[in-house]
Structure 1
């Protein structure tokens, strides 16, 4: 009968290999769980928290404006009384391109300047954006900083562009994925869809006019007073007007390019 002799050195090497394999497996499982938790945090938790915070801010703005509604309407009536009387019989102005409506543009700008407060502070939420087609209602804050504005689920106003209802380009940015992702589905907006912007003094309604599916993240032309892409010049406008610009990242889950949706102001009414 032959006896198999197993040296202690061989046993130790086998034990070390088993220990290494076991430890490596535990590390892989741990890393996998951490990555899964990170994905859940980014795709679910940040959206949940940002959306809840944005909803609370919308409610806070509505309460604030409701408390001061009497003063606002009083100021608007006073402003109408100082005008030529063109707006006294109608709650809204039609913003066309003919000469007959140009005076109403100017009268509206003057009235808005009288009834509005000082310019919003950096990262201050001062308006509410509503897009019925997307069932979206979110705050608009000054600036496009990520921690202070966009990561809160807010929509950010590009500094240097016009304020809502004013002649020029009122330009906004919002996340398409994570952090509330308010602009995730703006690619679904079609010509004629409405977008409302509410401020303390008025409600402005824009109609979606055209979409630029993809352009460079550095295409500053889309933010100009008369917005027109410098990368794809066939997209945009040539004449001054009252414009709305919505921008977000594209394709989804990347920030390589920008998707742009444009609209024109079609009406306004005092709050």
Structure 2
């Protein structure tokens, strides 16, 4: 085989490899975002339809002695949306559905609630994961979170306003204590109503995790309108 043929074959392979790399980058940057937009809109529509039918069970707030106890709220349905989450720090239009579990196919549709962690607004740790990049880049600006930032969650009956307590903390994927009921290394020193947000780090990798912790600051029924943090 002549040197010319070898060089030509190598050049063709390089061109093919380059084209495949470009297509893969386009898939990551563009097509996963398109898929996520459609999937996310579908989850939001499902939530709005559910809330319009009035099928959400409000959390118990106390029961008169002459009445039967209120029924316990229904368990979150696996893989299904149950809440909307808003972070004003990420922009006025930033809103994402929260689905039950953190499986790959679930995080392609929105944010994922860690199974076994607390319900939204409940005592314990309401822990939520989201992509840093791809599938809509929900947590692209995660490092910008600062103490005092609001994170708002609604389940269709109640608004829960959490407040970030510290700048994002970097750890490794095996550090599961960050989603404990009283998350380790969070600075919280006892039971409370907490929120944990997690995403991958670095921006285009997954060797580490970024963690943000927050505490419940306020609640209000949805009938009172949107919380102040979402107005303006």
Shift of 1:125: 1.2
Which residue, 224, 237, 240 being the options, matches 2:191? 240
Shift of 1:83: 4.9
Which residue, 10, 33, 40 being the options, matches 2:26? 40
**Gaps spanning 5+ residues in structure 1: where?**
1-12, 85-110, 230-234
Q: Give the alignment's TM-score, normalised by structure 1.
A: 0.72
Shift of 1:211: 3.0
The 3 A distance-change label for structure 1 pair 213 and 82 is closer
Contact 1:222 1:236 in 2 (8 A): no
Matched length: 217
Q: 2: CA distance between counterparts of 1:225 and 1:81?
A: 23
Say whether 1:150 aligns with 2:107. yes
Which residue, 140, 153, 165 being the options, matches 2:98? 140
Q: 2: CA distance between counterparts of 1:24 and 1:122?
A: 50
Shift of 1:218: 1.3
Q: 2: CA distance between counterparts of 1:45 and 1:245?
A: 29
Q: 1: CA distance between counterparts of 2:103 and 2:201?
A: 18
**Gaps spanning 5+ residues in structure 2: where?**
223-232
The alignment yields a C-alpha RMSD, in angstroms, of 2.4
In structure 2, the residue matched to 1:190 is: 146
Contact 2:143 2:168 in 1 (8 A): no
Q: 1: CA distance between counterparts of 2:176 and 2:88?
A: 28
Q: Residue 211 of structure 1 aligns to a residue in which SS?
A: coil
Shift of 1:123: 1.1
Greater Rg by CA: 1
Say whether 1:215 aligns with 2:215. no
Contact 2:133 2:203 in 1 (8 A): yes
Q: Which has the higher helix share?
A: 1
In structure 2, the residue matched to 1:60 is: 46
Which residue, 14, 26, 29 being the options, matches 2:12? 26
Shift of 1:55: 2.6
